[in-house]
Structure 1
């Protein structure tokens, strides 16, 4: 499986962590399974599936097709993905508060949910998806999505100190104290709790634990014998 990462345009850096394009042809005989357990993570995503559609199974439910362009809110439970025979996707990985700043929707309303992006953003997302599917190179796909995100800049909520503070929490691998996080956010601890639920969908202590879990899980994936 290949994966390529692109840094966001400087004008997007307050909202977007990076753009990731990945893919794999599972019809090749390399014994790599198309079934993948996606663990909870602190990252909020806008995801475009550009080859076979991806099916999602939550708990003991059935696999469901969730469309070509999907907004993924805060996830607390693992899900199983069927990536199909030929998998290719483009991910917009947002800063902790970036998805809220784009949509203006309290993320506490999106817990363990994923949504057809067209229903939330509008029909324009269908055109973007089609252009991404037709693009011949990863550089071209990156250019398409970055220009689209730049076109949405005037719709973003203006960032507040808490938005930067939450990014610094991630940079600290979840080890920042709540008092320091509140101070950097220019909020009381109680105000921080309320704003955190709205902007990242989780209480700040829970978010910090999720960041620490994500770091540990990523290390374990990269070093299975450690």
Structure 2
């Protein structure tokens, strides 16, 4: 077992990640959605070329709930990220089987969140929030910190348990920064420090490149990917899980599920049968199974909830502006 992981494996860890955003956001209860009562703004910025192989982008999300409880469910996602709560923290967190909307875990201001493979509960926001987030590419966290990504799957850790006092220093710098560009500079100094210390070396970025292939097409056979990496199928699956956090098959399923939901929000006029075929599902029943596994709901049940369309499209526009620059996000 990795020595650095052994140093913090017994420290406090949580059973499920509290994600403040996904490609799509649904409010937990339609009755609490009051679009005229709360505002949200998301701004994205690309990393420098030195960190582009590891970091997808940096995000700053500002939210004012105007005194209302805004619930955001945490469904399966195939991305790693580090959120820093610069103003206020998540007020409450419910897990499956918990009915309380008041009692729950108050999250720490700086976290490291791994891939989520299913519904993990809901996060409650109430107040004014400024949340800066480092969004990693597949295998990016492993490549910078040298810690097996599988240790974080369906969990999140206090960042100081991984980065020590450097995490608290970065949080302070982010809180004092006057702009997103300044936040990016502080975050990159932090990341480059750990990258220089990392013993990981792979000049061909094979796992990263193959994860990007799976992200875009879930139908690629594992045998083909292993051959491209010049590895046996067993070794490829082991290395992929170690660096990305889940098996290639699971990663592809979650990425395809997120792609289906993203497509539905972008093109609500399309029916689910069309989306299933567009995203490469064998048939609609296979898509329904994935939705049940990753959200506990069917596609129709999920889309019947009131979507935070304005929030989604604002976030989507921020990400789209990065794609236009020609810098691939994966």
TM-score (norm 2): 0.62
Q: Is the 8 A contact 1:5 1:18 kept in 2?
A: yes
| Alignment match, 1:66 | 107
Shift of 1:42: 0.6
Q: State the 4+ residue runs in structure 1 displaced beyond 6 angstroms.
A: none
Aligned residues: 222
C-alpha RMSD over aligned residues: 2.0
**Matching of residue 180 in structure 1 with residue 224 in structure 2:** yes
Using the TM superposition, name which of 7-16 and 83-92 deviates more.
83-92
SS in 2 for 1:96: coil
TM-score (norm 1): 0.89
Shift of 1:220: 2.8
Q: Of 48, 52, 61, which aligns to 2:88?
A: 52
**Matching of residue 19 in structure 1 with residue 58 in structure 2:** yes
SS in 2 for 1:115: strand
**For the pair shown, which has the larger CA radius of gyration, 1 or 2?**
2
Structure 1 gaps of 5+ residues are none
Distance (whole Å) between structure 1 residues aligned to residue 245 and residue 196 of structure 2: 23
| Alignment match, 1:213 | 257
After superposition, residues 155-174 of structure 1 pair within 5 angstroms as: 155-156=197-198, 157-159=200-202, 160-170=205-215, 172-174=216-218
Q: Is the 8 A contact 1:43 1:96 kept in 2?
A: yes
Shift of 1:51: 0.9
Structure 2 gaps of 5+ residues are 1-39, 271-330
Change (3 A) 1:76 1:52: same
**Matching of residue 106 in structure 1 with residue 148 in structure 2:** yes
Distance (whole Å) between structure 2 residues aligned to residue 122 and residue 224 of structure 1: 45
After superposition, residues 70-219 of structure 1 pair within 5 angstroms as: 70-78=111-119, 79-156=121-198, 157-159=200-202, 160-170=205-215, 172-219=216-263
Larger fraction in strand: 1
